[in-house]
Chains A and B, each alone.
Chain A
Amino acid sequence: MKIVHADIYGFGKWSQTSLDFSKGSLIVINGENESGKSTLRQFMLFMLFGMQPKKRAQFLPKKGGKLGGRLTIQTEDCGTFTIERLHDRNKALATCYHEDGNQYDESWLQQRLKGLDAQAFSAIFSFDSVTLQQLQQIKKADIGEVLLGIGMTGTDQIYWTEKWLDQQLQQLFKPHGKKPTINQLLETIEEKTNELVRMEQEVESYQQKQQEKTILQDTLSELQEEYEVLRKEKLQTEQKLHLYPTIEAFHQTQQKLASFSTEIEFPEQGLTRYQQIKEAMYPLKSELTLIESNLEKENQQLIQVEESLLNAEVVNSLEELITKAKKHQDIDNKLQFTKKSIEDLEKRLTQELHLMQVGLTIDSFKGFSFSFATEEIWQEIKEEQEQITREFATIENEQATLKEQQNFLAKEKQTYEQNQLDQATINRFVEQVDHKKQVEAEHKLTANRNKQKQSWQSMKQTKIRNANRIGLISFGLILISGIIGFLQSTFYWYGFSIIGLIFILLQQVSLRQSIRSMEPLFVAKTDDSTIKSIDERQFQEAEAILQEQNQLQLQVDKTENALRDLQLEQVKLEERKQFYKQKQQMLTIKITEQIKQYPFLQDVLVSHWPKLYHHLEKAMEKAEKIYILTKEADQLAADIRDFSLALEEAYYQHFSQKEEDKSKMLQAIREIAEGQKYKMEEQTQIRMRSDDLVTKKQAIQSKLQPYQADIKQLWQKAKVNDEEQYITKGNQKQEQQALEKELAVYQQQLVAFLSEQEWSRLSQGDLVTKVEQDEALGMVTAKLKEIQAEIKEKQQQLATIHLELEQLETSTLYVDAKHRYYTLQSELQQHAKQWAVYQLAIEKLQDTKEVFQHYYLPKVLERTTFHFNYITNNKYVNVYVTNQDAILQVEDFEGVHFNVAELSQGARDQLYISLRIALSEMFQKQMRMPFFIDDAFVHFDPNRLEKIIKIFQKMTENQQIILFTNDTTWGKMTPDKKNTQIVQI
């Protein structure tokens, strides 16, 4: 960046001045003291960076006119533009007029200046003789601080900021301090926290107190219960004292009871129940006794009756005998009747035998019998004899008839044979007839053929006519096609005509040929037959003769056949006759056999045999009857005998007295039997009665059974075996119960007033004495007092806790403390955050400083060394700093080290200039700002000044240098006026 022109409207002593700096890069502004060099420099700074109004006011033109001006700047990256600032316009903000005609504002300018401000610019790109004096104090830190000014912030700002931040931090918080805000706050918070913790414990104690309260309440209610119990006990003890007589009575009764075995086993109300059962049993028992005595009587009676009773077998035999006696009469009668019947039958049989006259008697008849087949055999023999006789008669008859027929047929045959012709004649007649028949057949065939020929002729005519008609039509068509062909000159029409013509010709030829081949079939065989024949009459005669002869021959044959049949018949008859003769012989043998068996047949004809048989049979039946009856009569007689014997035997068994009369005997027996019957009846009646009594007895006994069972049960329960024991035990039990009841009554009176312990004592037989009772009363009364006191105490405690709880419930102390704590905590947090902001800021600031110094300082020192070495003509070889607070050190070519204070004024100035040049070089990389140098070379010898000028000339290759000086020799010193412009003011 170069300043090429300046128009000053008014600034300090300057007004309406125009200066040009475009002729070179090293601008030497030369003027006397007070000529306005420094003001010009301020003007340039004002134009570039603006100025605070207060400061501006210093430069108000003394001679009037407006404060302000224009400065034309040439840049590498942005072309040339002119800055205009006016004190009283737009707060002296810049207006930039670019060469391209655009107008820009302050911020645009600031961007061009990369945020650099006047202060920073002064620190880097400007120095004067005054600042040279500071070198003695320059320390590493100072150079560092200068370096920090690179950019927009001044080192002062950094310094102040750091200091300020540190202050703030110190005010806020010191780790071990007491006064800073946070430390104080922490103290307060600690206090509040302790308070809060205490209160929290109180809150927790609320739970505890609640529990305590519950426990207290429980205890109290327990105590009250206890009190109530004791109160009752006291009352009871008092009552007990009143009841003492009863206690004694109880005791005595108990003693009495003790004499009884602990538990008498006896049924409940055993005696009463027993008595009741007994009463219920009395009527039944008396009835039973009555029945039993009656039964005894009946039994005795029965024994008496049974003693007089006969043995049952004997009585039965008597009975049987009496029954038999009744039958005995019938048998007697029957015997008489049978005997008479036998007599009658014998009489009649004798008569019948006599009538048969075959010489048989009753005696010979005895033992006579026929076999079962006899009647049949006799019948067969009779019938066979009759058949044989009949057959013989028939055969003889038939033989006679046959003879007659033979004779007749023989005669007839003779007659036929006489009428027959000889064979030759017959043959001739046969030939004639045959010939006549042949001729007739041929004649018939000729007539058929003529008929066929006529039909062929008519068919042939029709065919020819049809063929001619087709030919004509075809020819017409051919002609037409021929004409069309000609007219159209078309070849195929001609072809068509020619083919048609050929077709017609072929058709005509083939028709005529087929007719010709068929004709011979019908035209041949037209000649007549020429056989000679006999006339009709002769023919008919011959035929009649032939017929007659045939008839005759038939008749002869028939007659011969009939004769043959008759002969056969005759033979058959002869055979039959022979057969019956044999049969006759066998029958004779059979008859002989029968006669041998039954001799009386000798004199009886065979034809009478069956009749005889019937007579004999009847006679035999009678004989049989007689035999049976005789046997019957014998049996009856034996029966009568047996009865008499039995009767006698029976009679003598019972009676010793001799008795002949059977009826008397029978009468005596009958009486005995009657007597027995009566006695048996009596026995039955007695038995019935006694049975009845037994039933009654059983009924009563069964009625008695449950009572008896009850009694037994009662005994069992009482564990006794008889009534006596039972009643004794019952009485004992009653007595015990009475005592127990008495005891119970006492107990009832006492139970409400005695304690369990007392009861157990008392029931164990231990008498609670009156002294004891008195003592107990005393104790209870004392205890009651004690509990009353305790209750009072607990109630008080409960009231206290209640109050405490209520206080906790309604108190906002804890709430307040908590809120106070949180408010403080919030305050602390806020301060802490503020502290964090400061802390962070200072840390970052210091960090960045560190970074800057570390990075730039060595480079700056290197460049300083380089320049210093050059200016001093290689006398000094190194510029360095040892530590943060040390001032600059130099080393000469001999290795001797000096600090800045030890250097001569000139060398010091040169070192400082070297440092400033080095610094500006550092920044040059970012900003090629003009370098302002104001009267800095007072102590320079010409040699070194020359060197400086050379450095400057070198520097101007990159940057504009504006040198303010009152030394007029500067113009001469510059060896080469090129790139140097002297501005004289």
Chain B
Amino acid sequence: MQEKLSFIHCADLHLDSPFTGLNHLPDRIFQEIKKSTFKALDNLIDVAIKKKVDFILMVGDVFDQTNQSVYAQMQFLKACETLHHAGIAVYLSFGNHDYLQRSLLQFKFPENVHIFTDDTVGSFIFEKNQKQLATIYGFSYLERAVHKNKTEEYQKVSNTPYHIGMLHGSVKQQTDHDVYAPFQVSELDNKGFDYWALGHIHKRQQLKQAPPIVYSGNIQGRSKKETGEKGCYYVEMDGNSVDLTFCPLQTIRFETITLDVNQCTTIQQLEKALDEKIEQIHNTYGKTILRIQLTNFQEVVETWFYEEMIADVIAFLNEKMTIKHDWIWIQAIELSEQKYIDKEALRQGDHFLGEMLRSFENTELKEELEPLWKHRQARKHLTKLTKEDETEIIDQAENLLIYQLLRKEER
């Protein structure tokens, strides 16, 4: 039996990362959100010390931007020092979001921190009780993108009992847009390593069980897209088996829930249904930023939605929930799909609506958006719309038009 080895695998810390899609937050929540990535880092350190791990692997994107606030850097340095006092080594590489930071390198990291500074794969040997126990391989991004498949550069260089690869990148897609060190699972599998610590993908996932090829995901969700628990893997090895335990680190969760509101015919009923659901979430998830999708709704709900009556309900609920310790913040309520009108049947019609809906086909948002996206001031701050955004906009525009053109009641 080989000597035991335990470590924490984390990635994509994105320290000091701003959250997206959040408006009009109360100051208290805003403050907590600001600190959330640092708090998650603190949690990480606590877990490492509590589990008495041998080392921590940080697989890229420790920081969110290449230019960092001194505060963030100092926080990280402080964390490293804490680990140093606890006798825990840190193996660190930089990814596409924090590609090698010049300013960071000037810091005097404690000697427990080992940084992969090169853009070719290098290695460090981890020693435990004067015995060489593990070789850790990795590389850092020196530019925003790495088009090259780096797997070839991972070659065993020692006879240590364990070999662990750190790779910040994504599985090769068949498109030409593989800009993040594309690899294939089989290529990693073939290396004969004991563990592959991956970074870059924020969703936690295990690409392979043996040897484990793992994305630990990020440690704190930052938008509605990064839902669920976020954290790190606590890994134990003894030569025969590898045990992975997920340790949540996030302080704030992002969640999207769906709510069937078929029974709601009055706004009060809707409010009650929402209130009940939120209470339920409050009890299970803790601090949560929530996105609610209403399904199976009555036609009238749409009216409430477009007439912003629902927005008022949300404001009321938010006010109520944010004073609690484990607050809930409803970010948005969406109508997931309307059932009482067959949009596709309408699309086939010979009438005005049909004609109009058909004109949406193959729409590419460009000229339509120019007044705002090319506006002198606005263009500096607006980000380019993603395909997903565009689809959403088109869908919403369609729904809006259908709603407006078919609404029955008086204006």
Contact = CB atoms under 8 A, between A and B. Distances in A.
A844 B393 contact: no
B16 A839 contact: no
A823 B25 CA distance: 9
Interface stretch (B119-127, B149-157, B240-248, B398-406): B398-406
B67 A153 contact: no
Contacts of A835: 372
B406 A815 contact: no
A832 B372 contact: yes
A182 interface: yes
Given A151-B351, A823-B18, A839 B371 contact: yes
Contacts of B67: 200, 203
B109 to A, nearest CB: 15
Nearest to B73: A809
B381 A186 contact: yes
B320 to A, nearest CB: 22
Contacts of B408: 52
Interface stretch (A156-164, A284-292, A371-379, A744-752): A156-164
Given A189-B381, A844-B359, A848-B356, A151 B349 contact: yes
Interface in A122-167: 148-153, 157-158, 160-161, 164-165
B69 interface: yes
B129 interface: no
A601 B72 CA distance: 170
B249 to A, nearest CB: 20
Nearest to B103: A207
Contacts of A821: 18
Nearest to B106: A210
B71 A836 contact: no
Contacts, number: 181
A822 interface: yes
Contacts of B411: 160
Contacts of B385: 833, 836
B380 A193 contact: yes
B368 interface: yes
Given A203-B67, A814-B71, A845 B381 contact: no
**Residue of A193, A830, A839, A844 most packed against chain B (CB within 10 A):** A844
Interface in B351-410: 351-356, 359-360, 363, 365, 368-369, 371-373, 375, 377-378, 380-383, 385, 389, 392-394, 396-398, 400-401, 404-408
Given A836-B365, A840-B397, A828 B70 contact: no
Interface in B50-91: 67-72, 74
A830 B21 contact: yes
A190 interface: yes
B378 A848 contact: no
A811 interface: yes
A115 interface: yes
A152 B351 contact: yes
Interface in A379-438: none
A175 B371 contact: yes
Interface residues of B, number: 62
A198 interface: no
Interface in B223-282: none
Nearest to A811: B71
Given A164-B404, A186-B381, A826 B353 contact: no
A161 B401 contact: yes
A100 to B, nearest CB: 24
A808 B375 contact: no
A583 interface: no
A809 B393 contact: no
A828 B382 contact: yes
A810 B71 contact: yes
Nearest to A851: B355
A189 to B, nearest CB: 5
A825 interface: yes
B284 interface: no
B401 A150 contact: no
B176 interface: no
Contacts of A829: 20-21, 382-383
Contacts of A815: 16, 34, 69, 71-72
A926 interface: yes
A654 B204 CA distance: 149
Contacts of B365: 836, 840
Contacts of A811: 70-71
B29 to A, nearest CB: 11
A500 to B, nearest CB: 105
Contacts of A816: 34
Nearest to B369: A836
A114 interface: yes
Given A160-B411, A816-B34, A832-B382, A190 B349 contact: no
A443 interface: no
B71 A150 contact: no
A182 B372 contact: yes
A158 B350 contact: no
B352 A153 contact: yes
A944 interface: no
A810 B70 CA distance: 8
A844 B401 contact: yes
Contacts of B369: 836, 839
Contacts of A826: 18-23
B352 A836 contact: no
B401 A845 contact: yes
Given A809-B74, A844-B360, A837 B397 contact: yes
B316 interface: no
A73 to B, nearest CB: 21
Interface string A200-215: 1001001100100000
B305 interface: no
Contact of A153 (B19, B381, B405): B405
B17 to A, nearest CB: 9
Given A160-B411, A819-B34, A828 B378 contact: yes
Given A815-B71, A826-B20, A836-B365, A844 B356 contact: yes
Given A826-B23, A840-B365, A848 B352 contact: yes
Given A210-B106, A822-B18, A152 B406 contact: yes
Nearest to A202: B70
Given A822-B19, A825-B381, A158 B405 contact: yes
Contacts of A837: 393, 396-397, 400
A173 interface: yes
Interface string A861-896: 000000000000000000000000000000000000
B172 to A, nearest CB: 31
B133 interface: no
B34 A809 contact: no
B381 A823 contact: no
A841 interface: yes
A158 B352 CA distance: 9
Contacts of B397: 836-838, 840-841, 844
Contacts of B383: 825, 829
B41 to A, nearest CB: 14
Nearest to A151: B351
A825 B223 CA distance: 14
Nearest to B358: A848
Contact of B377 (A114, A149, A190, A836): A190
Given A189-B381, A829-B382, A839-B369, 18 more contacts: A151-B349, A151-B350, A152-B346, A152-B349, A158-B352, A808-B70, A809-B70, A810-B71, A825-B381, A825-B383, A829-B20, A836-B368, A838-B397, A841-B401, A844-B359, A844-B363, A848-B356, A849-B352
Interface of A: 52, 114-115, 148-153, 157-158, 160-161, 164-165, 173, 175, 182, 186, 189-190, 193, 200, 203, 206-207, 210, 808-812, 814-816, 818-819, 821-823, 825-830, 832-833, 835-841, 843-845, 847-849, 851-852, 926
10 contacts: A148-B352, A161-B401, A182-B378, A200-B67, A809-B70, A823-B23, A825-B383, A836-B365, A837-B393, A844-B363
